[in-house]
Amino acid sequence: MNIIVCIKQVPATNDVKINKDTNTLVRDEAQSVINPFDTYAVEEGVRLKEATGGKITVISMGIPKVADILKECIAVGADDGILLSDRAFAGADTLATSAALAAGINKIGDYDIIICGKQAIDGDTGQVGPELAERLGIPHITCVRKIEEIKEDYIRAQRMTDFGYEVIECSLPAVITVVKEINEPRLPSIKGMMKAKKAVIPVWTADDVGADKDKIGLRGSPTKVIKTFTPEININTEIIDGAPEEQAHKLVEKLLQLQIKVPV
């Protein structure tokens, strides 16, 4: 079974530093990680490969640094990584992202299943998977929490809903997007890490994948982000130091000073 896994790089949310003067994100220091949902996608791919044989290709559209994250996927069992990177891809909304990914996937060719995460934790739309399926003209199942059965040209899976789950079957090839309940991602192996270190990640440009320039990047994006801003919140924070008891005393004093009613 040939498996393609789509992964996105997202900022590590617990590691974001803010420039104190400008109140903006310190970009070069912000660590990037694989979108957490995509780790389940990679793990499911590895498990499918272990069960059925075949090959796993991991693909991402992003900046050159994303090659490192593709290598991490090789360390946990993927065979190859491919990076779609080109100025022409930049500024993509979900529709343009799916166009770029579809072009890349068509170039890889020969696939039985494509696995995506349920959603990216930054963009958060959950649209890329289904859009990708539409563009490739194949069925999709979103929010998969378990693959019940998979054969050469058939898949039956449990789709998680707010109230339980649905059992959905469709033909292969298909796109599935996965939720975290589906598995527990493994840690890398030393052999995998060594393979990853040696791996060369090919970088494909828009021309390499024959993408239609009107459908990708900013030009291909019907959605435009006009302005991003942080809502203004006026909170003065004061850190009280000292031993816990001392802190508690000072805190109560302050609250009394501010005439905030303390329920007794």
Partner 1 sequence: MDYFLTEEQQMIKELAARIADEKVAPVARELDEKEEFPYEIMKILAESDLFGVYIPEEYGGLGGGITEQCLVIEELSRACAGVAVSYAASGLGCTPILLFGTEEQKQKYVPDIAAGKKLAAFALTEANAGSDVSGIQTMAVKDGDYYILNGTKQWITNGGEADVYVVLAVTNRSKGSRGFSAFIVEKDTPGLSFGKKEKKLGIRASATREVIFTDCRIPKENILGKEGMGFIVAMKNFDRTRPGIGAQAVGIAQGALDYAASYAHQRYQFGQPISSFQAIQHMLADMATQTEAARALVYATARMIDAGAKDFSKESSMAKVFASDVAMKVTTDAVQILGGYGYMRDYPVEKMMRDAKITQIYEGTNQIQRNIIALELIKQYASKK
Residues in contact with ligand FAD by the rule CB under 6 A: 6-8, 35, 37-38, 41, 60-62, 92-94, 97, 101, 116-117, 119-120, 122-129, 223
* Between 2 and 35, CB nearer to ligand FAD: 35
CB of 148 to ligand FAD, least distance (A): 22
CB of 115 to ligand FAD, least distance (A): 8
CB of 114 to ligand FAD, least distance (A): 9
CB of 190 to ligand FAD, least distance (A): 26
188 binds, among partner 1, ligand FAD, none (CB under 5 to 8 A by kind): partner 1
Residue 191 exposed, middle or buried by CB count within 10 Å (0-12, 13-18, 19+) = exposed
* Between 18 and 194, CB nearer to partner 1: 194
The number of angstroms, rounded, from the C-alpha of 13 to the middle of its chain's C-alpha atoms is 13
Q: Across-strand partners of 177?
A: 116
* Between 77 and 173, CB nearer to partner 1: 77
Residue 134 exposed, middle or buried by CB count within 10 Å (0-12, 13-18, 19+) = middle
* Between 49 and 118, CB nearer to ligand FAD: 118
The number of angstroms, rounded, from the C-alpha of 115 to the middle of its chain's C-alpha atoms is 11
**Dihedral over Cα of 14, 16, 21, 23: its sign:** negative
195 binds, among partner 1, ligand FAD, none (CB under 5 to 8 A by kind): none
Q: What does the CA dihedral 24, 118, 7, 110 come to, rounded to 10 degrees? A: -160
